[in-house]
Amino acid sequence: DGCIKAVGQADVIRNQFSGATFEGIIDCSGKCVLPGLVDAHTHPVWAGDRVHEFAMKLAGASYMEIHQAGGGIHFTVEHTRKATEEELFNTFKHRLERMRRAGSTLVECKSGYGLDLETELKMLRVIERAKQSMDIGISSTYCGAHSVPKGKTATEATDDIINNHLPKLKELQLSGEIHVNNIDVFCEKGVFDLGSTRRILQAGKDIGLQINFHGDELHPMKSAELGAELGARAISHLEEVSDEGITAMARAKCAAVLLPTTAYMLRLKQPQARKMLEEGVIVALGSDFNPNAYCFSMPMVMHLACVNMKMSMNEALAAATINAAYALGKSDTHGSIETGKQGDLVIINSSRWEHLIYQFGGHEALIDYVIVKGKVVYQNERCGTM
């Protein structure tokens, strides 16, 4: 059934299963077996990369300056609206395969580059197709409130989402055409304010979606306090979170999904991982893969979390496995090697698991096997014996 049957010392397991026959046996002598990595925050369905904007950022343009000049999210929205479902599916599939080769076995995937009902649904259908046809776990997120569409005010966009998008989503959920897990809003100055964010998140919660949203990234917005109050499962970014917000999240058991790639690429101040951990917040990690932060690799994310956010390697591994699974409401089935949990594993070609973090960008020659539901989905031809 794709779940782990037993975990324990080799000789005990050998005796327990002495009479069993196996389709395949992997010799892991001198290697490490880890839980499959969980990427708790990605935007992987879109057309229109923003490689040209990277040069602008390097020259000193801020995220909001590019956004206001018609770049950023709006540039990608324009291209995503024009792309066919087939084009979006093919690029998405290719990105998921790259994530899987880097050890991710469960990925949170957002819509959010449509901003109109038709394109948002097109993106969610693409995510649904991948869920059904690919050997990788997907938690899907409706993120129609990723930005205010051109020609609308934030209030008009909020009304459109609540009155049109969410009822349609509920209808498609009930008919089984798509299965959406989370609702997301970009709560930010000049995007969706606290009042609009509250309305959208509550409306999403009312149709059975988990709250998992962008907050306190570029400006302190009291997003963390709002999330704790609404019973959010997770809040992402939090570079500008308040002390009160951290306390509220710890109390509400609301996970903080920290995104070291974003702070690194946009030269923002780093999220306060240490303070959060000390106060008892459940800290998870995500790659934030999107046209602004083009990173598929959770091992690189863990490395950046250790160096820039001062997390220990143990904390980073927990944040990229069991805690990231918790942020998606899946920690009872994913994120650790335990009997009864889904058989998602990564085997690395080293006798010390820390190499996965220590070798910055080295995962391509280090990850030997990736296993999803007990099935080998990736075997690395390049891994000889170390």
DSSP string, 139-198: EEEEEEESSPPTT--HHHHHHHIIIIIHHHHHHHHHTTS----EEEEBB-TTSB-HHHHH
pLDDT value, residue 65: 87
In a domain, 8, yes or no: no
Q: Are 63 and 218 in contact (CB under 8 A)?
A: yes
pLDDT value, residue 371: 98
In a domain, 28, yes or no: no
If we measure between CA atoms, which residue out of 233, 316, 306, 318 comes closest to residue 270?
A: 306
In a domain, 203, yes or no: yes
Per residue in 253-299, pLDDT tens?
Answer: 999 999 999 999 988 999 999 999 999 999 999 999 999 999 999 99
The sign of the dihedral angle between the CA atoms of 52, 55, 59, 60 is positive
Q: How confident is the model at residue 385 (pLDDT cuts 50, 70, 90)?
A: very low
Per residue in 14-59, pLDDT tens?
Answer: 999 999 999 999 999 999 999 999 999 999 999 999 998 888 888 9
SS3 state at 233: coil
In a domain, 199, yes or no: yes
In a domain, 66, yes or no: no
Look up the domain containing 151 and give its range.
34-47+83-328
Exposure string of 204-228, with b = 16+ CB inside 10 Å and e = fewer, is beebebbbbbbbbbbeebbbbbbbb
In a domain, 250, yes or no: yes
In a domain, 110, yes or no: yes
Per residue in 209-222, pLDDT tens?
Answer: 999 999 999 999 99
386, pLDDT greater than 70? no
SS3 state at 13: helix
pLDDT value, residue 384: 55
Lowest mean pLDDT among 21-30, 57-66, 98-107: 57-66
Domains in the chain, number: 1
Lowest mean pLDDT among 71-75, 355-359, 366-370: 71-75
335, pLDDT greater than 60? yes
Lowest mean pLDDT among 18-32, 120-134, 161-175, 190-204: 18-32
Using CA atoms, how far apart are residues 24 and 200, in angstroms rounded to an integer? 49
323, pLDDT greater than 80? yes
pLDDT value, residue 72: 87
In a domain, 59, yes or no: no
Span 82-104, average pLDDT: 98
Which CATH number is 225's domain given?
A: 3.20.20.140
Q: How far apart are the first and last CA of the chain?
A: 33
The burial of 172, by beta-carbon neighbours within 10 Å (0-12 exposed, 13-18 middle, 19 or more buried), is given as: middle
